[in-house]
Amino acid sequence: MARFQKRRAEAVDGLLLLNKPPGMTSNRALQTVRRLLNAKKAGHTGSLDPAATGMLPLCFGEATKVCAYLLDADKSYRVTARLGVATDTGDADGQEAQTAPVPEMSAADWDLILQGFVGESTQVPPMYSALKKDGKRLYELARQGETVEREARPIRIDEIRLLELAGSRLVFRVRCSKGTYVRTLVEDIAKRAGTVAHTARLHRDAVGAFRAEGMIDLETVERLASEGSGALRERLLPPDTALADMPAVAVDAADGERFSGGQVVDVAASNNKGLARVYGAGRFLGVGELAANGQLAPRRVFRAPRKNLVDI
């Protein structure tokens, strides 16, 4: 009997913006694409609930070093709320927990309520979340029928725009900070209107500087992979595209070597302070931190880009 030899995973570098389909966990989506790329190292940023769809940045090889920065990035969602019915999980996967009449309100009335959530505030995380309490995930406790005290956490809502109002269906787009639970936001919006609600659909269309037009659906990923790993790898984005919101700093060849070796280098005086993208000799070197005195300290060093192997 013929024996099949498992392919050795390869060093593949880059980002892929997957349009995650419904009914799939973020980790399963990552492992599916990782297998198709035959990538050695992989990670994702900003998990989506299985029922949710939309942008899931997948990072491979050197690009896994930007995961932490993408986790901190702002997010944008298209949200469909069903008014009048609350569930135990806050979304459509849960069991009906409460009903309430939906008040007769105009689109202008709802928009006024939505705008009241813009700005900085605090939010109590839901029980059905991956946060831990005494070493246990909150959703594990919730499934056991337990409810524990949760501390309110600071969040920021930058924009909410009403898109549709039809009976018990309320659709809006929200741009918010990391750590914002949209399911809780929907419940809080309904409470302010004098009713209850749950999130019927959730679609993420932006993470940081990445926008919806850059996403690839899983069917396209599978089709490209069937044409050979090169076709799919050509769609990977360079790691520094995830850091477009950071200012860019260029250094000469000598300072580039020192920076890549973990040493602090001096750069020209700049009004920028804080994290920056660092380039030298025509390539991305990593993330550095600019100080007021003009010194640039390495914070995340990237090795020289390597040409991804392709099928011949």
| 239 phi/psi in degrees, rounded to 5 | -55, -35
- Token readout for 160 is 């909410």
Q: Out of 13, 49, 188, 255, which one is annotated catalytic? A: 49
Residue 232 three-state SS: helix
Q: Which residues pair with 295 in a beta bridge?
A: 266
The answer to whether residues 251 and 265 touch, using CB atoms and an 8 Å cutoff, is: yes
Q: Is residue 49 annotated as a catalytic residue, yes or no? A: yes
Residues 293, 294, 298, 304, Cα dihedral to 10°: -170
The answer to whether residues 163 and 173 touch, using CB atoms and an 8 Å cutoff, is: yes
Q: State the Cα–Cα distance between residues 311 and 225, nearest whole angstrom.
A: 10
Placement of tokens 């009048």 in the chain: 84
**Which residues are designated catalytic?**
49
